[in-house]
Chain A
């Protein structure tokens, strides 16, 4: 039995008086695709930020990929983010004045050293081989999100986090992006955690959890 990619016990997060995440016990197996649902303000993004090492928990234990995140130093946490996770947001956060391939190379640069050939390959994998030199403003929403996926997977993360990555996309683009994620996961075998408001998107996962006011209220396994 392998170590779960994500394991939390009594994990909490508060912002001042607000308790965004009540004690949460959660396990995500290696290679699993977990969907996270819940109404606005239920703590989904909070959970993602904690798991992705963008924020530190207020209490409880949180281990990702066998590393105890609360024990890591700032440097250690930065290295964890660089080497272990890839994140896709609803807003694409691409640098507007850099081309698609340069945006991907930027991520390589922060990880180690840029390698243009490899960045091109990654964009070809997400089906953007013909739009390498275009800037984000010249790409459609779905294409932008695919650049984000290329950027997120370029450093071979073990865990891919998506915070409503398809929230801004129409149905057709949503399916394309999810299809792509599924293919990449089959090849690279990373774990996926995807936040969504959409039942249909959630159905792409192996399991769905429902948060309400920072509490895990329901869990539904779709496939194993």
Chain B
């Protein structure tokens, strides 16, 4: 329960301790202490934020930190690749070790603070069995124990298992992402994929439609179809995946192409070959962390598609339009009561098209009818939580008061007429609303032009 819930976060923290200590072995002791202390600080600060700033502010803060660390890693990965391809010997001036004197504690502390905050996110205080404060104290004790365990276990790892500098950061970032992927509101995967998708989509609109080929005679509809495939919703997904996975691949490539020591001056063949073999073996060992990070990332990406919190998400009730095209939803019928303030989902099948929409009573006292999709995301639908609905795709929380208003990731509102017996919606309006605004059909819309 309480402890089991925290397992991914604690595992990630333990991994961070081990990776950082392995990456900077000269400073094991101070680093272990700062990792332990950082965890405590991060947990305490997050805890304080949750108590004093309810709502999504603390989540946004932590999410930003995790996201920023990921993009920092992007830059470092590119740099690592660039440096590894330099056909010059690494300078022996000791510049890198002076850089390490700063980098090691910064990485250790930053990662540990974030890991602590992520762990604290797992219990906003109230669902802990002993009450919030003892739970926090317990968490701090566990954190200290894990830091100590990392300190002793890391020393037991085989000597040959080395970690490159970029690899250290890669491991840390992958573990943070894994840890955050277990928290719906901290999950970074879908929002980024969404942004990529939107970027591609906008690009098609702006560039292809208005600048390059405005309704040209020779551009056949089929060609638009192909362009549509290129920029369909899959692009967002794969674009996101590329962003997530390339840094790790870049680091792996950088390690793989690291220069071998120059051995030309060693006259005895056996001696020379031995040095080369040792360097190659070390390079191979350095690949373990980036490759392991790839696996962790894949786990995190997979994980993020399963929201952890239980949302109210009823199965859509199939409805049909009458011959005049009217879709009628009774105010009360069966187990459904439209005025209970809950999300009520319906599914309209119009020929080959399916439209998912919902009806709900908002806290403002008005009924609203909206598509179960927004204009920017993949239509994964919404679930209802406390005081808000969540877009499953981008994990944005939309306060109930604003449901029914258009824009952003809000569900797309649909016109309807309210009668005493229920709600009447025009079927054609529904189908059109879905096919003109919902992302997945957006590309087809251009294709069919």
Contact = CB atoms under 8 A, between A and B. Distances in A.
Decide whether A and B are members of one complex: yes
B271 interface: yes
Contacts of A121: 269
B268 interface: yes
Contacts of A83: 270, 274
The residue among B271, B272, B273, B276 with the most chain A CB atoms within 10 A of its own CB is: B273
B277 interface: yes
Contacts of B272: 115
Interface string A150-192: 0000111000000000000000000000000000000000000
Nearest to A121: B269
B269 A113 contact: no
Interface string B266-291: 00111111101110100000000000
Given A83-B274, A111-B274, A112-B274, A156 B269 contact: yes
Contacts of B274: 83, 111-112
Contact of B280 (A111, A113, A118, A156): A113
B277 A156 contact: no
A113 B270 contact: no
B269 A115 contact: yes
6 contacts: A111-B274, A111-B277, A112-B278, A115-B273, A154-B269, A156-B268
A46 interface: no
Interface of B: 268-274, 276-278, 280
A107 B345 CA distance: 72
Residue picked from B268, B270, B272, B276, most chain A C-beta under 10 Å: B270
A40 B269 CA distance: 38
Interface in A112-141: 112-113, 115, 118, 121
A113 B284 CA distance: 14
A121 B272 CA distance: 15
A156 B269 CA distance: 8
B268 A112 contact: no
A7 interface: no
Among A111, A112, A154, chain B packs the most CB atoms within 10 A around the CB of: A112
Given A112-B273, A112-B276, 16 more contacts: A108-B273, A111-B270, A111-B273, A111-B277, A112-B274, A112-B277, A113-B273, A113-B277, A115-B272, A118-B273, A121-B269, A154-B269, A154-B270, A155-B270, A155-B273, A156-B268
B264 to A, nearest CB: 12
Contacts of B269: 115, 118, 121, 154, 156
Interface string A78-112: 00000100000000000000000000000010011
Nearest to A117: B269
Nearest to B268: A156
Contacts of B270: 83, 111-112, 154-156
A170 to B, nearest CB: 32
A156 B268 CA distance: 8
The 5 closest A-B pairs by CB, nearest first: A112-B277, A112-B273, A156-B270, A155-B270, A118-B269
Contacts of A118: 269, 273
A96 to B, nearest CB: 25
Contact of B276 (A113, A154, A155, A156): A113
Nearest to A156: B270
A155 B274 CA distance: 9
A155 to B, nearest CB: 4
A79 to B, nearest CB: 10
Contacts of B277: 111-113
Nearest to A157: B270
Contacts of B268: 156
B111 to A, nearest CB: 35
Contact of B271 (A108, A113, A154, A156): A156
Contacts of A154: 269-270
A156 B270 CA distance: 6
A156 to B, nearest CB: 4
Contacts of B276: 112-113
Contacts of A112: 270, 273-274, 276-278
A118 B270 CA distance: 9
A115 B271 CA distance: 12
A53 B274 CA distance: 20
A19 B284 CA distance: 46
A95 B269 CA distance: 23
B262 to A, nearest CB: 15
Contacts of A115: 269, 272-273
Nearest to B274: A112
Nearest to A115: B273
B238 to A, nearest CB: 39
B320 to A, nearest CB: 73
A131 B269 CA distance: 22
B46 to A, nearest CB: 47
Nearest to A122: B269
A115 B266 CA distance: 14
B268 to A, nearest CB: 6
A108 B277 CA distance: 10
B306 to A, nearest CB: 45
B159 to A, nearest CB: 12
A30 B400 CA distance: 89
A112 B269 CA distance: 10
